[in-house]
Amino acid sequence: MQILLGVGRRVLYLIPVLFIVSLGTFLMLDLVPGDPVVHILGPDATPEQMAAVRLELGLDQPLVPRYFDWLFGVLQGDFGRSLLPPVEDVSEMLARRFPVTLELAIVAMVLSLAFSTLVALVAVYRAGRRFDKASNVLALVVLSTPSFLIALLLVFFLVFRPGMVKWAILGVGLATVAWLVYRALVKTRDLSRGERRGQLALGLGVAAAVAVATVVLWQVWPAFPRQGFARLGDGGGLWNHLEHLFLPAVTLALVEGAVFARVLRNDLGSTLKEDFVLFARAKGMPGRRVLLSDALRPSSFTLITVAGVSFGRLLGGTIIVETIFNLPGMGTMIVRAVGAGDFRVVQAGVLVIAVFYVVINSLIDISYSYLDPRVRRG
């Protein structure tokens, strides 16, 4: 019951926030300096053309009735039609473009969370060692690099130099296999025959798995396309779709993953110093089990908040990546609409992204009721 009441309160809080978001989006047209019709048509438009656009935008009505007419249309999914050629229904434009941006954001978020969680767990498990220090430096380097530069570097190596990347994969993989074999031999040389046989088999098995994965990856590594987007229904298949999505998703995932890894690494380090973790270790629980079962969950709350904010930002912040890879998403739609002065398209795009941003962060708040009993009791 407490959870349902908490969800109900947050839904009620959401209503005035969405109202303010819609009002701010609507007022964009009125905040444009000068006459918005002149911005749309240019100074050479005829009086008849200006009058038609003014009537289309409802600028002949007072502000309040015009806002509610616009709001009722939006609630019914009617965003009107674009003002400049090619004239299209704005709802149809959103239906084509928003799934592209949403899929890109979801794939980038999944990749960044998986990558950052793995890096943070290994780093805190080997706190103060080479991997911990190297991952921290690498995260700082990625955070200091603009996303457009990361995108251009990925294009240079993965699109124009795929052979170099394939040989690099093979070289790194074989070097890793050699290191795993050497490590298994060194670690087991002082053990008894029975223990040595089991540990050596495990180490060599891991090395063999890495070798097989390296060879397979070297063989199937594709030549990624430079630009464009392949929809699943266009006949190209799932693999072609993923090839077009890979580079932009990795570009976004690297930046977000660096942030997530640092956040989770710091929280895990603090949690491992808590009394309940020290007590579990004193009882003789293995370090890996303590890390995964006792420390990971309470350390993930900050990561969930940061991921929610980042996901909302990804929906509206993919403009540079979509432009570099020529993706038909929301970012390129809004940029082109701003350049052309098509305010109706700009309003619709900004409103959809803002609403998703607010709703996602509200869902993050609601998820705390399930994850953290302290929030539920509060």
Q: Which tens digits make up the pLDDT trace of 331-356?
A: 888 888 887 778 888 888 888 888 88
8 Å CB contact between 343 and 59: no
Residue among 273, 294, 282 at smallest CA distance from 127: 273
C-alpha torsion sign, points 10, 16, 19, 20 = negative
pLDDT tens by residue, the chain, 378 residues: 566 666 677 778 788 888 888 888 888 777 777 677 777 777 777 888 788 878 877 777 888 888 888 888 888 888 888 877 777 888 898 988 888 888 899 999 999 999 999 988 888 888 788 888 888 899 899 888 888 888 888 888 888 888 888 888 889 988 988 988 888 787 777 666 666 677 777 778 888 888 898 888 888 787 778 777 777 766 667 778 888 888 899 999 998 999 999 999 998 888 888 777 777 777 777 767 777 777 788 888 888 888 888 887 787 667 888 888 888 888 888 888 887 778 888 888 888 888 888 888 888 777 766 666 555 555
Bridge partners of residue 89, in order along the sequence? 81
What is the distance between the alpha carbons of residues 49 and 161, in angstroms, rounded to a whole number?
52
**Residue extents of the structural domains in the chain:** 2-75, 90-377
* Predicted pLDDT at 369: 66
The residues facing 81 across adjacent strands are: 89
Residues 120/265, Cβ–Cβ less than 8 Å: yes
End-to-end C-alpha distance for the chain, whole angstroms? 13
Evaluate whether 204 touches 225 at the Cβ level (below 8 Å).
no
**Helix (H) or strand (E) segment spanning residue 3:** helix 2-26
Rg value, the chain, Cα = 27
Torsion angle in degrees (nearest 10) through CA of 158, 160, 165, 166: 100
The CATH number of 90-377 is which of 1.10.3210.10, 1.10.3720.10, 3.40.30.10, 3.20.20.70? Answer: 1.10.3720.10
pLDDT of residue 221: 81
pTM: 0.83
CB count within 10 Å of CB 206 equals: 16
What is the dihedral sign for C-alpha 305, 260, 97, 93?
positive
The 10s digit of each residue's pLDDT in 293-316 is: 777 888 888 888 888 888 877 876
